[in-house]
Amino acid sequence: MSKLVTIFGGSGFVGRYIVRHMAKEGWRVRVAVRRPNEALFVKSNGAVGQVEPVFCNIRDDQLVRDALQGADAVVNCVATFDVGGKNSFDAVQLKGAERIARIAAELNLGKMVHLSGLGADEEGQSAYAQTKAAGEAAILAHIPDAMILRPSVIFGSEDQFFNRFAAMSKFGPILPIAGAASRFQPVYVDDVAQAAVRGILGQSPGGIYELGGPDVASLGDLMGQMLKIIQRRRLLLNLPFFAARLMALGFDSAQTLSLGLFHNGILTRDQVKQLAQDNVVSETAKGFADLGIEPTPMASVLPDYLWRYRPSGQYAEIKASAGNLRADN
C-alpha cells in the first residue's frame, strides 16, 4: 500500500499545493481541517480515494491523534492572525504545533515538516513572531530532525498580499500603506510547497530553512510593481507608524466591542509591529540553494493572476491593441 501523509491545514493557501505534489508522488493524502465540507475541492488533486479531507481541530489531543493514525509523515500548515479568542496565536502557533509534534513523536512518525514564518523570534516585537518561534522550539524538542520552513511573504493566485492591495486600488485614487520602506523577499507558493515535499520524501535533511524569492524590494516598490501590472495610477500614501497604530487600535476595538461580530481582517496592532521589520532571508541561513530549488521571480507569475484587477480585466490588451489601430488610421 502507498504511504500516507497527514497535512494539517491542507486546504489552505500553501497546503493545497503540497497536497497536489504529494498526490502526484503517489502518496495517499489525509487533509486535516476544521471544515472538511469546505475542503472537498482537494479531492480533485488525486485519484478516487487518494485525497481525503477529515475533521480535526488541533486544539484537541484525541482529534490530532486520530488524524495521525497510520500516517508515515505529517505536515503542519496551520497558522492564524487572531491575537485573541479560541484560535489565538498561543493556541494555534504554539500549543497546536507542540501538540502535533508530541503526538507524532509518540506514534513514531517518520517525517515532520512545519510551516513557520520568516522573522520568527522569541524576542521579537510582535506576538506573531514570538509564538512562531516558540512553536518551532516546541516541535524540535519532540522531533529534533523536523524540517522547519520560514517563508517570507508568499505570493500566488490565492494570496492575501498582492490580491488584497490590488482590490483596494479599485476604490479610490489613493492606496494607503504602512511600512513602505520595510523590505520583503516574496516567495512563490509552489516553491514553498516543493520545499515541503523534499522534506516529506527525505530528499533534504531536517533543520530550519529561510525561504525567499530572487527579488528583494521595499513594500512601496512592491506596490509600485503591482500597480504597473494592473495598469492603475494610484498615489501611494505611506502612513506614519503612529497613524497606522491608531487605525489598528480602532479596528481592534471595533472587534472587541462588537463581541466578534466585526472581525478585524484589515489591520491589527500586531501586524503594524510586523510591518516595522524587514522580512528578508539572513545571509547565513539555509535556503532554497540547500534544497536544490530555483526560486521563481515575481515577474513571471504576477501578471497571470493580477490581470483581473485591470480596468478592462482580461480585455485590457485587446483594448490597447484596438487603440493602436485607431491611432494608425
| Confidence (pLDDT) at 113 | 98
- Provide the CA 266 distance to its chain's centre, in angstroms: 16
Provide the residue-wise pLDDT of the chain in tens; the chain has 329 residues: 699 999 999 999 999 999 999 999 999 999 999 999 999 999 999 999 999 999 999 999 999 999 999 999 999 999 998 877 888 999 999 999 999 999 999 999 979 999 999 999 999 999 999 999 999 999 999 999 999 999 999 999 999 999 999 999 999 999 999 999 999 999 999 999 999 999 999 999 999 999 999 999 999 999 999 999 999 999 999 999 999 999 999 999 999 899 888 888 889 999 999 999 999 999 999 999 999 999 999 999 999 999 999 998 877 777 777 766 655 55
Unique residue bearing C-alpha cell 522580512: 279
Residues 6+ apart with CB under 8 A from 52: 28, 29, 30, 31, 43
The CATH number of domain 4-156+184-215+277-298, selected from 3.90.1150.10, 3.40.50.720, 1.10.3720.10, 3.30.360.10: 3.40.50.720
Tell me the angle at which helices 97-106 and 127-142 cross, rounded to the nearest 10 degrees: 10
* pTM of the full structure: 0.94
- Sketch the domain layout of the chain as residue ranges: 4-156+184-215+277-298
Continuous H helices in 25-115: 61-68, 89, 97-106
Neighbours of 135 (CB within 10 A): 29
What is the distance between the alpha carbons of residues 83 and 62, in angstroms, rounded to a whole number?
A: 25
Q: Provide, for the chain, the percentages of residues in helix, strand and coil under a 3-state DSSP scheme, each rounded to the nearest 5.
A: 45, 15, 40
